[in-house]
Amino acid sequence: MSLSRSARLLLSCCFTLFISLSWLTAEAATPPHIVILATGGTIAGQGASSEQTTGYKAGVVGVDQLIQAVPELKHVANVSGEQVFNMASEDMSTSQIAALSARVNALLARSDVDGVVITHGTDTIEETAYYLDLTVNSEKPVVMTASMRPSTAISADGPMNLLEAVRVAANPNASGRGVMVVLNDRIGAARFVTKSNTTALDTFKAPEEGYMGRIVGPDVVFDYHPDRLHTTHSAFAGMTSSKQPNVIILSGYQDDPGFLFDAAIAQHVDGIVFAGPGAGSVSSRSREGMQRAIAKGITIVRTSRTGSGNTPTDPQLPGVVADSLNAPKARILLLLALQKTHDTNQLQTWFHTH
């Protein structure tokens, strides 16, 4: 049977349309490539029994096992894993987080990588998250996650946290928001979230600023962009360093001794973050200690031990103020900033803007 010319033309048009649509659908369906960098913590922890939720060993389970435990990841993204470290986060050093930042920057510079998820211990995740927030030189999503219960516990929170972190990293609206911390269905900004409870699952809070968004079933909901300089807009974007300054933290309390400042001077530290009571007040003993440290060229940053609120400037007191950063995060900003300058006006500007 021979077809008329117009029937052949119609068939050929339908065929071309079918091929184009199939190609477009395949393009649209290509899942994002998210790299999971594993560093240890409770999410990779193992206890002796399913009931053990304290005293277990953090940083045991490898990245492949973490990924295999969540087969649902493949519905969300094309994931690949890398084991960067496998350790408890209280042992994480500044040179290790600098190496992690370099790895994240190298991955995000690749056109075949759409985002990075980092698994980490909850104890110091806020420090690593803020370091990355200041040093990652990309708009692509960087999401950190963790868990409060080890992988062996009943109702372990790690698998769902990992799935939700990948959901956030794979979301088209996640770009340009700085480094995010995802646990317990919530999305926190690295600049603001802090661990607020020793053992509770909903430990990560931002008392003044709240969460940036949340995960509701399969949906990722964002409410705001953090209004602080981060990632590509940070003064420290892409920064790499072989030697980091030595910045320590001291705390103020009734009867606090000034000799801790002398110990810091003897150790040749570069900076001291002082977490004072209330709005960052300083006892007369610590004030004298600070003056001795400043006379030796040590930079002082004052913050509050209260856990929220801004530390106001005070002409009676020495040092730069940490804005609303808590002491561990103020230490992170100071150790990056001291690699560029010791000028206190510049340092103060950075503390008010980052």
Contact footprint for ligand SIN (CB under 6 A): 40-42, 58, 88-90, 121-123, 146, 148
Count CA within 13 A, CB hemisphere, residue 353. Answer: 13
Token pair for 146: 């963790």
Residue 308's contacts (CB-CB under 8 Å, 6 or more residues apart) are 207, 208, 324
Nearer to ligand SIN by Cβ, of 123 and 270: the residue is 123
Strand order in the sheet with 271-276: 247-251, 271-276, 299-304, 320-321
Residue 82's contacts (CB-CB under 8 Å, 6 or more residues apart) are 35, 36, 37, 38, 63, 103
Nearer to ligand SIN by Cβ, of 42 and 326: the residue is 42
Alpha helices in the chain (DSSP H): 5-29, 63-68, 94-108, 125-135, 158-170, 259-266, 284-295, 327-337, 344-353
CB of 326 to ligand SIN, least distance (A): 16
Nearer to ligand SIN by Cβ, of 123 and 133: the residue is 123
Sign of CA dihedral 274, 279, 285, 287: positive
> Helix, strand or coil for residue 40?
strand
Euclidean distance between CA atoms 212 and 181, whole angstroms: 10
Question: Which is the catalytic residue, given 16, 30, 42, 313?
Answer: 42
> Helix, strand or coil for residue 245?
coil
CB of 89 to ligand SIN, least distance (A): 3
Euclidean distance between CA atoms 118 and 127, whole angstroms: 13
Q: Any catalytic annotation for residue 54?
A: no
Euclidean distance between CA atoms 207 and 192, whole angstroms: 8
Count CA within 13 A, CB hemisphere, residue 35. Answer: 22
CB of 43 to ligand SIN, least distance (A): 7
Q: Which residue is nearest to ligand SIN (CB)?
A: 121
CB of 128 to ligand SIN, least distance (A): 10
CB of 106 to ligand SIN, least distance (A): 24
> Helix, strand or coil for residue 36?
strand
CB of 117 to ligand SIN, least distance (A): 15
CB of 66 to ligand SIN, least distance (A): 13
Question: Please, what is the end-to-end C-alpha distance for the chain in angstroms?
Answer: 75
Whether 172 contacts 220, CB under 8 Å: no
Measured over all CA atoms, what is the biggest interatomic distance in the chain, rounded to whole angstroms?
Answer: 104
Question: Residue with structure tokens 């004072």?
Answer: 276
Nearer to ligand SIN by Cβ, of 24 and 200: the residue is 200
Nearer to ligand SIN by Cβ, of 106 and 200: the residue is 200
Whether 347 contacts 335, CB under 8 Å: no
Residues involved in catalysis: 42
